[in-house]
């Protein structure tokens, strides 16, 4: 006879979903009697998932970066202060010049006095009456020399600047006028970066919701399979009791009892595997939703005998997927960013113009000679910078940036093709799941009728134990296929929703 075993339950890899253990405060303790819907699981997962939180922080970061880029249009104001101590003073005259200035009167009088005496003697020969006047003039020459010496000394000291302690301070304003388009390109890059971060958040949310759907329906599937495995085990236990009575009556053999016992042991093992898988699946769902791993609330759909299904034919709406998928939007924004990077590299060849202005204070001050006090002045200027030759560096950078932009465009086109294929595959899977559900329902009805007739025949002694076991096995297979088909309709629709960008 052909023995049936429950379809394998995927127990390995259940923890490969993207969500990690939540470090956020848990939801209030859920009791085992609480009913939790799929929408509640989704909302709690979105609230507690770390990747969602990180994606939200990326959005905030991108917004701040865009604000930073906008400030480049505005003037920048900076302040500066400096103190310098120098070991030597600055002198505008050499040591020899300073010494000659200090004795300029003495040297001048010493050169004039002999000639003055000679001229005075000639004058006295012809005009002796001028003797008092010439004597007075001769007496004033030393005093004149002393005054000139003092004046020279003062001039020497004035030209010897005491700048050993130099203080400089100022405020500088710089207003960009034309930067070759670099500021505008950076503004657009950060704007695209902000949109890219928003689409990244949407992608993380959609991935998380699909993971929650998978975990939720996995629990529902295993709950129903546990009920099925329990019912099958109870059925075999009842059959085993009937066979023992038949052996006592002499209408059954030991071989019949052993065949039933073997199937009963298999049913016990299957029930154990299902129970273990259900425990792990509940832990995974709790992890995704931010509950304690020990919490095992009752899911709303696990109490239903038949899950509600949608009869609507699903169509592969490719244009909707192209418009809504966050992955495509991310690549579109990335391609725009690379095009702006080309403009940034091209700006290297263009001149830059900036307006500058400010106020500078110094001590010593230089506005009224050299004065030991603080004094300042305003200044304004225009700065232009034009690159002349860089050995092809800028040209090669532009070519590299254009290559990156072309790669981004190709990646965008490739992703469109993959998304179209994915949407068509998901729509096909939805329709196939609906067909399998109808077939499984028809097969289940026939298997239940076959089991009913087989039980009646066995009770009347017209059907053997082997035939009844075969009918029970067929009923078990039909029930299991029906559960799988119902769950597949939910999972395929969830996958299609994600493929469409919903």
Task: Note the pLDDT tens digit of each residue in 296-339.
Answer: 788 888 876 666 666 566 677 888 888 888 999 999 999 999 99
Mean pLDDT of 125-152: 64
Q: Which of 101-105, 324-328, 366-370, 386-390 has the highest mean pLDDT?
A: 324-328
Q: What is the pLDDT of residue 272?
A: 93
Cα–Cα distance measured from residue 471 to residue 454, given in angstroms and rounded to the nearest whole number: 7
Q: What is the pTM of this model?
A: 0.73
Query: Would you place residue 367 in the very low, low, confident or very high pLDDT band (cuts 50, 70, 90)?
Result: confident
Coil, strand or helix at 389: coil
Q: What is the pLDDT of residue 257?
A: 81
Q: What is the pLDDT of residue 22?
A: 34
Q: How far is CA 299 from CA 222, 279, 377, 416, in A?
A: 12, 14, 78, 37
Sign of CA dihedral 181, 184, 189, 190: positive
Scanning 251-346, the segments in alpha helix (DSSP H) are 254-289, 318-324, 326-346
pLDDT digits (tens, 9 = 90+) for 204-229: 999 999 999 999 999 999 999 998 89
> Which residues make Cβ contacts (< 8 Å) with residue 248, sequence separation at least 6?
none
Mean pLDDT of 122-141: 62
Flag the least confident range among 1-15, 65-79, 144-158, 397-411: 1-15
Q: Is the pLDDT of residue 95 over 80?
A: no
Q: What is the pLDDT of residue 277?
A: 92
Cα–Cα distance measured from residue 343 to residue 404, given in angstroms and rounded to the nearest whole number: 13
Closest residue by Cα to residue 426 from 330, 301, 300, 320 = 320
Burial 200-209 (b: 16+ CB within 10 A, else e): bbbbbbbbbb
> Which residues make Cβ contacts (< 8 Å) with residue 138, sequence separation at least 6?
113, 116, 117, 120
Query: Would you place residue 140 in the very low, low, confident or very high pLDDT band (cuts 50, 70, 90)?
Result: low
Query: Would you place residue 202 in the very low, low, confident or very high pLDDT band (cuts 50, 70, 90)?
Result: very high
CA dihedral 449, 450, 451, 457 (to 10 degrees): 110
Q: Is the pLDDT of residue 374 over 90?
A: no
Coil, strand or helix at 129: helix
Cα–Cα distance measured from residue 339 to residue 189, given in angstroms and rounded to the nearest whole number: 9
Tell me how crowded residue 433 is: count the other CB atoms within 10 A of its CB. Answer: 21
192 CB-contact burial (10 Å; exposed 0-12 / middle 13-18 / buried 19+): buried
Side-chain half-sphere of 243: how many Cα atoms within 13 Å?
Answer: 22
Encoding tokens for residue 419? 């998304």
Q: What is the pLDDT of residue 104?
A: 65
Q: Is the pLDDT of residue 90 over 80?
A: no
Q: Is the pLDDT of residue 253 over 60?
A: yes
CA dihedral 55, 59, 64, 69 (to 10 degrees): 120
């Amino acid at each position: 006879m052909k023995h049936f075993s429950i379809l394998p339950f995927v127990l390995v890899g259940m923890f490969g979903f993207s969500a990690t253990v939540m470090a956020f405060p848990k939801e209030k303790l859920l009791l085992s009697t609480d009913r939790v819907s799929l929408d509640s699981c989704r909302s709690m997962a979105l609230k507690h998932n770390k990747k969602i939180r990180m994606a939200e922080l990326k959005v905030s970061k991108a917004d701040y970066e865009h604000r930073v880029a906008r400030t480049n249009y505005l003037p920048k104001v900076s302040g500066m202060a400096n103190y310098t101590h120098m070991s030597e003073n600055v002198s505008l005259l050499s040591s020899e010049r300073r010494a000659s200035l200090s004795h300029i009167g003495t040297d001048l009088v010493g050169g004039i006095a002999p000639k003055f005496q000679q001229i005075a003697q000639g004058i006295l020969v012809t005009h002796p009456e001028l003797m008092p006047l010439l004597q007075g003039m001769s007496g004033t020459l030393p005093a004149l020399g002393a005054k000139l010496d003092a004046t020279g000394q003062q001039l020497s000291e004035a030209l010897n600047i005491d700048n050993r302690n130099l203080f400089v301070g100022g405020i500088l304003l710089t207003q960009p006028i034309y930067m070759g388009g670099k500021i505008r390109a950076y503004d657009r890059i950060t704007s695209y970066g902000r949109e890219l971060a928003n689409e990244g958040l949407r992608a993380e949310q959609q991935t998380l919701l699909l993971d929650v759907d998978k975990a939720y329906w996995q629990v529902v599937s295993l709950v129903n399979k546990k009920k099925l495995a329990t019912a099958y085990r109870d059925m075999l236990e009842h059959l085993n009791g009937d066979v023992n009575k038949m052996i006592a009556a002499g209408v059954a053999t030991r071989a019949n009892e052993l065949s039933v016992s073997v199937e009963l042991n298999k049913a016990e093992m299957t029930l154990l595997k299902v129970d273990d898988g259900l425990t792990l699946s509940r832990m995974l769902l709790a992890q995704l939703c931010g509950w304690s791993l020990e919490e095992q609330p009752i899911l709303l759909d696990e109490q239903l005998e038949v899950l509600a299904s949608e009869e609507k034919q699903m169509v592969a709406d490719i244009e909707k997927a192209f418009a809504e998928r966050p992955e495509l939007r991310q690549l579109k924004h990335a391609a725009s960013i690379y095009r702006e990077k080309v403009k940034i590299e091209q700006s290297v060849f263009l001149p830059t113009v900036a307006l500058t202005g400010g106020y500078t204070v110094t001590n010593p001050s230089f506005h009224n000679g050299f004065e030991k006090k603080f004094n300042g002045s305003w200044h304004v200027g225009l700065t232009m910078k034009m690159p002349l030759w860089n050995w092809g560096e800028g040209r090669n950078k532009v070519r590299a940036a254009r290559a990156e932009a072309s790669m981004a465009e190709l990646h965008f086109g490739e992703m469109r093709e993959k998304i179209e294929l994915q949407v068509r595959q998901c729509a096909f899977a939805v329709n196939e799941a609906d067909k399998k559900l109808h077939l499984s329902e028809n097969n289940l009805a026939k298997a239940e009728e076959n089991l009913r007739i087989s039980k009646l025949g066995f009770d009347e002694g017209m059907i053997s134990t082997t035939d009844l076991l075969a009918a029970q096995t067929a009923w078990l297979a039909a029930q299991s296929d029906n559960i799988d088909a119902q769950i597949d309709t939910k999972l395929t629709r969830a996958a299609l929703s994600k493929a469409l960008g919903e």
